[in-house]
Amino acid sequence: MTSPVNDSGDARIAAPLQEVLDAFVVHLRDERGLSDHTVRAYANDVQSLLVHAQRLGVTSVDQLSLSTLRSWLARQQSVGRARTTLARHAAAARAFTAWIQRTGLIAEDPGSRLASPKSHRTLPEVVRADDMVVVLDAAADVAGEGAPVALRNVAIMELLYATGIRVSELTALDLADLNWDRSTVRVFGKGKKERTVPMGKPAQRALEAWISSGRAALIRAGTPSDAVFLGTRGGRLGARAARDVVHQCLAAAPGAPDVGPHGLRHSAATHLLEGGADLRSVQELLGHASLATTQIYTHVSVERLRATYEQAHPRA
């Protein structure tokens, strides 16, 4: 177990608490199917909570109380944690206490009454539709020379923008996930939830060019891979390398924000809504569990409308 990121001093907890924490981590990973990143974050958060509780005299999880949880959150707030981080701390604590109640380790769930600090969401930065045309055309021009990596890169850009999938979902794609006849991609998102998303003709053409002309050049003998996207060494492309591809391609459009892969996801959602797509369809495309998460993109469109109005209307 890694040391918690939210407490200073002695990060060790007593064996009974550590055993429960270890079992909780197994639950998150194997039963809930959360990503490694989320599991690590929740594990660190709960370990931080248990370190704090131990300092208050708690020796077993059945001694956890709402006041303990609140004092832990207050301590995190006092050292300047961001609101989004505090919200995650609260979510991790609630998940932990709900789980220990379900497993019979505690009679009542103290986390059920733990409120999250209200987070003020900032509007995501997006690439304008005309700038995306410049970016994708520039990537296609480079790919026109036939270099395998260039063919791969334009396929990455086209697919991210066409589908709005996460970079982790992109790098996890296997060849069997592509349905050429239906022009769809099978994606396994957060919690290993499966969804099928459509891809446009430009994305499909770019993928076909990469797979038929570029991919074979990167596969090395003895290291077969079912991955759609490969690195230069022939193995599955990693998320960091995919991010580098996006940053490199966005640099081709002067004035376009360097938003990274998640910015392409924001851009795809915003452009869909601006084009008349309904919110529920965009939610399904992005794989959002809550419609509230998708609704932030409506605010992006409203802000753009407001800017256009103020610039163009004589009575603005």
Q: Give the whole-angstrom CA distance, residue 31 versus residue 42.
A: 15
Measured at the CA of 260, the angle between CA 255 and CA 261, to 5 degrees, comes to: 130
Please confirm, yes or no, whether 118 is among the known catalytic residues: no
With H, G, I as helix, E, B as strand and everything else as coil, classify residue 175.
helix
Query: Which of the following is catalytic: 75, 236, 262, 304?
Result: 262
DSSP-assigned states of every residue in 219-233: PPTT----BSSB-TT
Q: Give the whole-angstrom CA distance, residue 114 versus residue 97.
A: 10
Query: Which of the following is catalytic: 27, 32, 190, 236?
Result: 190
With H, G, I as helix, E, B as strand and everything else as coil, classify residue 260.
helix
Q: Give the whole-angstrom CA distance, residue 95 versus residue 46.
A: 9
Query: Which of the following is catalytic: 81, 89, 152, 166?
Result: 166
Query: Which of the following is catalytic: 152, 215, 265, 271?
Result: 265
Query: Which of the following is catalytic: 94, 215, 271, 288?
Result: 288
Single-letter code of the amino acid located at 7: D
Please confirm, yes or no, whether 161 is among the known catalytic residues: no
Q: Is the torsion defined by CA of 223, 234, 190, 21 positive or negative?
A: positive
Please confirm, yes or no, whether 192 is among the known catalytic residues: no
The residue behind tokens 């197994």 is 26
Angle formed by the axes of helices 260-274 and 279-286, nearest 10°? 160
Q: Give the whole-angstrom CA distance, residue 169 versus residue 162.
A: 14
Q: Are 62 and 101 in contact (CB under 8 A)?
A: no
Please confirm, yes or no, whether 265 is among the known catalytic residues: yes
Single-letter code of the amino acid located at 291: L
37: nearest Cα among 84, 88, 87, 75? 88
Q: What is the largest distance, in Å, between two alpha-carbon atoms of the chain?
A: 70
Terminal C-alpha separation, the chain: 57
Active site residues: 166, 190, 262, 265, 288, 297
